[in-house]
Structure 1
Amino acid sequence: MRVLAAMSGGVDSAVAAARAVAAGHDVTGVHLALSAKPGTLRTGARGCCTIEDSRDARRAADLLSIPFYVWDFAERFTEEVIETFVGEYAAGRTPNPCLTCNEKIKFEALLEKAMALGFDAVCTGHYARLSVVDGVPELRRSRDEGKDQSYVLASLTSEQLRHSMFPLGGSLKSEVREEAAEQDLAVAKKPDSHDICFIPDGDTKSFLEKKLGQTPGQLVDDETGEVLGEHTGVHGFTVGQRKGLGIDSPAPDGNPRYVLSLEPVSGTVKVGSRDRLAVTEIDAKRPIWPSEKPLDGPTECVIQVRAHGGTADAVAEFDGAGITIQLRQELQGVAPGQAVVLYRPEESGDLVLGSGIISATR
């Protein structure tokens, strides 16, 4: 097969490309330039998508003796990922920009261009297991549970998955680093990137304030209605947040207060005790079924609401438009705008049944 290997400049994508080469595929490497000013993105252990990363990707491609290109996706990344991120926060929701990037950039824009150029598949360093049985894709958790990325891939369509390769799904991260060292890849010990790549200093609140300006509002006790303080914008808060609320006095019982809900129209941020964060029901819109099999009646499953953690046993039902989920265990800090992914536990790795975007909680 003709395979386009997306090479971020990290160890995972380099080893994924190496495995595609070893499997006998005709591999071409590509690095995505996602910023018109790459120096503004994070460097070192906390970032990705920098000039340094593109050079690391090129060195890995040279070592593997495969062609290598840099594709400029900066404009589309700004429109699809950064502007969506800002717009969601302005609407009082909590988005996951990495999920959006995977959906809109790596497996829509990239795959679209790859197919137009005659490639058969896109290969990435994501930790997830993927198989295609009788033309139907099956996406599962990776062997390395701590690195599993099936959550951020669950928004991909079956057609996108048919043209995707995840060579690392059956490996542990430690094995991947060992393999990189054995092949003399310079990125073998390169630290993993984390946090949001397009916020250079990691200060999300300041980033959003620069984009949206200040929209003052009130911090209100959810039970009593008492005004506890002022703030400069609902975009500076997320459901479940405890620190940095700007409230001078403690709660009457001495316990911390948490953000319970955001009302962008009125500018109200409601706060209260931790137990009021508990969620037992979730509604989700924009359902996606990677294996083209929508839920048929009430379905026992395990749901996940964050990239790492936030899981619970549940019963989910699809009404033809959205998904309603009844949780068997309470979850806290669940916010509209987050993705919810439905899994069916299996010995071969939990199977992704579907995903949706949380629209309401109760």
Structure 2
Amino acid sequence: MSGGLDSSVTAWKLAREGRPVVGLSMLLWDHSGTEAHGRCCGALDLGDARRVAQQAGIPHYTLRMDREFRDKVVDPFVDDYLAGRTPSPCVRCNTWIKFDLLLERARRLGATRVATGHYARILQGPDGPELHTAVDTGKDQSYYLFELTGEQLAASLFPLGELTKAQVREIAREAGLVVAEKGESMEVCFVSGGVREFVEAEAAARLPGAVSPEPAVLVDARGEELGTGQPYYRYTVGQRRGLGLAAPSPLYVLQIEPERNRVVVGEESELMAPGLRGERLHWIGPQRTGEVEATVKIRSRHPGVPALIRPQGDGRVEVDFAEPQRGITPGQAAVFYQGTRVLGGCWIAGRSDGSDRSVR
């Protein structure tokens, strides 16, 4: 129970169905100096979770998991930016915290399943539980759950998967829940200011001297120097604003080269790629070694593109798109769908067109 609308309605629904329910909240990050809602680990939101548990008539406990959260989510988040990648901390939180460590803690309390407010569905298939998209496609969160295993799905419940957000809010209103009019939570719950400022502060505290504030050299795809800008870790692939370069047509970030403190920029057409290279390939259910046709989403709100998935062994994979796609971003997830079913996914390492745009 994060103290948000969705997890609150989840707890309320299960309690009203007569199931034995215990509300668990996680203290993941110290937001004691930030008095604001929308932080899934902030004091105000944990207070809301306790009040909803009282309304639902269920016991509520707060589990301190800040050390594990730092190890599994926050430090890798910072490391990714310093390595020139754009991380997806919500996927890591689901993989390592909510459906691993939290599930383990819940079992210690005698629970057999963990229910969350995710908008996704678990359906029984011939090879076991399958992950599917939510009925409310505008709120679907299956992308962030692609690393779950069949065993984790079997121990999970997503009671909101068949509902729309409007229906969920109406349930909260009818029940009189204190969070009925609460807005959406923040995208990165542990960052209260700017992401880049957070990365700099964390890196300075954990890795003193390892991060250079030197401006990055901005070059084109041929290696010609165009100017200097901010430190390289302040850029992301596809970025247009803030480059500070005068050019006849808009320029975008094509690639980040931390080891050379360089950022490669180019025109929008140069962002297009016919495929991607992936690593840490994961399948939900039976492992697949042959080629697979699927729809691939390269960002959470990407509409998806038909593609051919070609496993290469050792967790590596090549993905060939039916049509070139814009902004293949290292550090983001590529998730594979067949219809509403999530087959699995991988982490994007780079483009797979034989031109990763490394500049000589």
Name the amino acid aligned to 2:116: T
1:122 match: 114
Map of 1:3 onto structure 2: none
The 1:211/1:233 distance shift into structure 2, 3 A limit, reads farther
Matched, 1:289 2:279: no
Of 120, 126, 137 in structure 2, the residue corresponding to residue 145 of structure 1 is: 137
Runs ≥4 in structure 1, deviation > 4 angstroms? none
Measure, in 2, the Cα distance between the counterparts of 1:42 and 1:228.
43
Say whether the 8 Å CA contact 2:276–2:318 is kept in structure 1. Answer: yes
Q: 1:228/1:99 Cα in 2 relative to 1: closer, same or farther (>3 Å)?
A: same
Against the structure 1 CA distance between its residues 25 and 339, is the aligned structure 2 distance closer, same or farther, given a 3 Å change threshold? same
Question: Is the 1:41–1:49 contact (alpha carbons within 8 Å) kept by the matching residues of 2?
Answer: no
**Rounded Cα–Cα distance in structure 2 between residues aligned with 1:211 and 1:229:** 28
Whether 1:243 and 2:241 are equivalent positions in the alignment is yes
- TM-score, normalization by structure 1: 0.90
Deviations 1:190-221 (A, max 9, x none): 001132121112x1122222233434253333
Residues 76-91 of structure 1 aligned to structure 2 (within 5 Å): 76-91=68-83
Residues 118, 47 of structure 1: CA spacing in aligned structure 2 closer, same or farther, 3 A cutoff? closer
Helix, strand or coil at the partner of 1:284: strand
Number of the residue aligned with 2:208: none
Deviation at 1:334, TM superposition (A): 1.6
Aligned-residue sequence identity (percent) comes to 38
RMSD: 1.7
Determine if contact 1:218/1:228 at 8 Å carries over to the other structure. Answer: no
Tell me the CA shift for residue 116 of structure 1: 2.9
Going from structure 1 to structure 2, the CA distance change for 1:135 and 1:14 (only over 3 Å counts) comes to farther
Aligned residue identity for 1:267 = N
2:101 corresponds to 1:109: yes
Which whole-Å deviations, capped at 9, do the CAs of 1:40-68 have from their partners, x for residues lacking one? 45723x53321110111111110110010
Structure 2 vs 1, CA of residues 211 and 236 (structure 1 numbering), >3 Å: closer, same or farther?
same
Aligned residue-pair number: 344
Q: Counterpart amino acid of 2:234?
A: G
Task: Specify whether residues 19 and 133 from structure 1 end up closer, same or farther in structure 2 by C-alpha distance, changes over 3 A only.
Answer: farther
Bigger mean CA deviation after superposition, 336-345 or 107-116? 107-116
Contact 2:253 2:266 in 1 (8 A): yes
Question: Unpaired segments of 5 or more residues in structure 1?
Answer: 1-6
Q: For each residue in 1:130-176, what CA deviation from the matched residue of structure 2 results, as whole angstroms up to 9, or x when unmatched?
A: 12346711100101111000000111111111101000001000000
* Pairing 1:185–2:183 present: no
> Partners of 1:195 and 1:162 in 2: how far apart?
27
Say whether 1:353 aligns with 2:359: no
User: Could you list the runs of 5+ residues in structure 2 that have no partner in the other structure?
Assistant: 204-210, 354-360
The alignment's TM-score, normalised by the length of structure 2, stands at: 0.91
**Distance change (3 Å), C-alpha of 1:40 and 1:334:** farther
Counterparts in 2 of 1:193-272, with a 5 A limit?
193-201=185-193, 203-212=194-203, 213-247=211-245, 250-251=246-247, 254-272=248-266
| Alpha-carbon distance between aligned partners in 2 of 1:271 and 1:139, rounded to the nearest angstrom | 38
